[in-house]
Copies of this chain bind each other. A is one copy, B any other.
Amino acid sequence: MSDIPTIKEIAKRLNVSVSTVSRALNNHPRIGLKTKEAIQNLAKELNYEPNPKAIFFKQKRSFVIGVILPLIAEDFFSKSISGIEDAAMEHGYTILFGQSHDSIKKEKTVIEAMVKQRIDGLLISLSKETNRYDHLESLDKYNIPVVYFDRVPPFENACKVYCSVYEGTEQMIEWLFRQGRKRIAFINGPDGIAASKERLKGYMDGISKRKLKIDMQMVEKTDLSEEGTQLALDKLLALKKPPDAIISFNDYVHLDAVKYAMHKGVEVNDDILFASYANISVNKHAAFPPVVSLDQFPYQQGQLAMNMLIDILDKKQAGAAVEEPFQKIEVPVTLVYS
């Protein structure tokens, strides 16, 4: 019920001035040993903690970092938040959290709320909808550093951490090819979103590299709903020469595809090998996990991104001119076999 103790209280109790207390707690050399010890002991006893809001006044920093993710319910983001959190904790930062729910409007609202709270920096994975970037201007204006992560903007002048899905896709095709599969189909996500474009590019280049012919009949797309995926699979199975391997846009699409394929009498991972992206946790429990899935290391990505941001913040505080204004880290991906 008592209030959190302040420097003032300590000063009053020991009959010294607040400045003496402040200096004693910061181990200033000009404070007498007895005084210093008395103050430090009482501070410990009262469990004194400096008020970060007061310090913010002087130092102009709050040790709070905003984190905005599209949808924490997605396996990838729920894992990455742990990396983000651990890295922040380690450096004494706390995180203000918000979701955009893949809406640009919500993204804007959350950013505004965080700017109001005077965050030191922002770590953000953009919403699927985000194709304009003017709502991020206020951060620039107020000189709040931003690090983009996984879903990064297309322009160059930004700090980014992301992984090379493009190369991963090529590797996946390479591996399927080595398993003797030649008719590799692809169920992509909706047109227009960056993730679909990158995957498709990887697919086409991967196929080309293997000197296979690109057959656009082998490329279908889903709106990510179960029905959309079923439709896509129907078309692929109805081909004169149906595929002997199918890569799905992500593991959720994969699960729907496999479920429907079983229903259609396909011998899953025999007639057709199923591959996918993300390597979500439920794969462990699934009856038919993808034979190969692309792990994008969400924890590490989150950790790297937060460390990059803290690094920028520290340099900024130290007043150092940023030598490399826009850092980029491309995290390599890895194939996971089941």
CB within 8 A of A82: which of B4, B64, B99?
B99
- Contacts A72-B72, A95-B97; A64 near B117 (Cβ below 8 A): yes
The chain B residue with its CB closest to the CB of A251 is: B285
Q: How far is the CA of A62 from the CA of B113 in the complex (A)?
A: 13
Please tell me the size bucket of the interface on A.
Answer: 35 or more
A114 within 8 A of B: yes
Total copies of this chain within the assembly: 2
B97 near A252 with CB under 8 A, answer no
A129 within 8 A of B: no
A25-63 near B? 1/0 per residue, CB < 8 Å? 000000000000000000000010101111011000011
B143 near A1 with CB under 8 A, answer yes
Task: Write the nearest CB–CB distance from A262 to chain B, whole angstroms.
Answer: 6
- Stretch of A73-81, A149-157, A232-240 that contacts chain B: A73-81
* Set of chain B residues within 8 Å of A117, measured between Cβ atoms: 52, 63-64, 94
Q: How far is the CA of A64 from the CA of B95 in the complex (A)?
A: 11
Q: How far is the CA of A300 from the CA of B122 in the complex (A)?
A: 29
A262 near B282 with CB under 8 A, answer no
- Contacts A51-B118, A118-B4, A118-B53; A97 near B97 (Cβ below 8 A): yes
Task: Write the nearest CB–CB distance from A99 to chain B, whole angstroms.
Answer: 6
* Set of chain B residues within 8 Å of A178, measured between Cβ atoms: none
A281 within 8 A of B: yes
Q: How far is the CA of A281 from the CA of B255 in the complex (A)?
A: 12
Q: How far is the CA of A51 from the CA of B140 in the complex (A)?
A: 18
